[in-house]
A and B are shown apart, each in its own frame.
Chain A
Amino acid sequence: DGGITQSPKYLFRKEGQNVTLSCEQNLNHDAMYWYRQDPGQGLRLIYYSQIVNDFQKGDIAEGYSVSREKKESFPLTVTSAQKNPTAFYLCASSQVPLDGYTFGSGTRLTVV
């Protein structure tokens, strides 16, 4: 079955450490996205990529980095520069042109 997989589901890291969240899709979608969900804030766009080897900053890119070396994969690195990294992170993918997203099941990151 086609889908989008995020791993791990729960992640704990010490403050000051970088951490990478995985996102893989086998839907043959060209575009991929990273969102962050915080209580009362809804879904905020971090980075997105419409094609391999290209990506754009979203609304809250500071403290994050991404790469898009393969169509299927769009890993997100939360760096030590991100001031409030504890959140629920969602990856999504879509066809181009856009007609809606398919979301992964999310990764809960807790920084202690």
Chain B
Amino acid sequence: DQQVKQNSPSLSVQEGRISILNCDYTNSMFDYFLWYKKYPAEGPTFLISISSIKDKNEDGRFTVFLNKSAKHLSLHIVPSQPGDSAVYFCAAFDRGSTLGRLYFGRGTQLTVWP
């Protein structure tokens, strides 16, 4: 049973425009959320995170928005660049849990074209 869902397997955006990647979760105990970026044949790298006490976190071109009531978060990339083309994974966990593991979505393949 997937507790973190990324319903769009792929997204194609023109260079310079905004990319919006979406993520939904079902577990109301999740209180920390992360986005990872992954290139082919490489390990994922951390991109940005947000705690449930916030509704927005910004880092350069990347902004993550959290809507707790809707159990939804989104990653905005502005402006999009060809080097942003990668698979983006949304992840979540409950900081109070003893399990100590992340729950991942299935990923969204972002393609930024010139």
Q: Which residue numbers of A lie inside 8 Å of B, CB to CB?
A: 4, 6, 9, 31, 33, 35, 40-43, 45, 48, 50, 56, 58, 88, 90, 92, 94, 96-106, 108
Residues of B within 8 A of A42 (CB): 6, 89, 104-107
A97-B95, A100-B34, A100-B49 are known contacts. Are A40 and B106 too (CB-CB below 8 A)?
A: yes
What's the least CB distance linking A57 to chain B, in Å?
11
In the assembled complex, the CB of A103 is this many whole angstroms from the nearest CB of chain B, namely 3
Question: Shortest CB–CB separation between residue B108 and chain A, in angstroms?
Answer: 10
Can you list 17 A-B contacts with CB-CB less than 8 angstroms, sorted by A residue number? A4-B43, A40-B106, A42-B104, A43-B104, A43-B107, A45-B101, A88-B41, A96-B100, A98-B102, A100-B46, A100-B49, A100-B102, A103-B36, A103-B44, A104-B43, A105-B43, A106-B43
B49 vs chain A, min Cβ distance (A): 7
Main secondary structure of the interface of A (DSSP, over half): strand
* Residue count of chain B within 8 Å CB distance of chain A: 23
Nearest A residue to B9, CB-CB:
A40
Residues of A within 8 Å of B89, CB to CB, are: 42-43
B45: shortest Cβ distance to chain A, in Å? 7
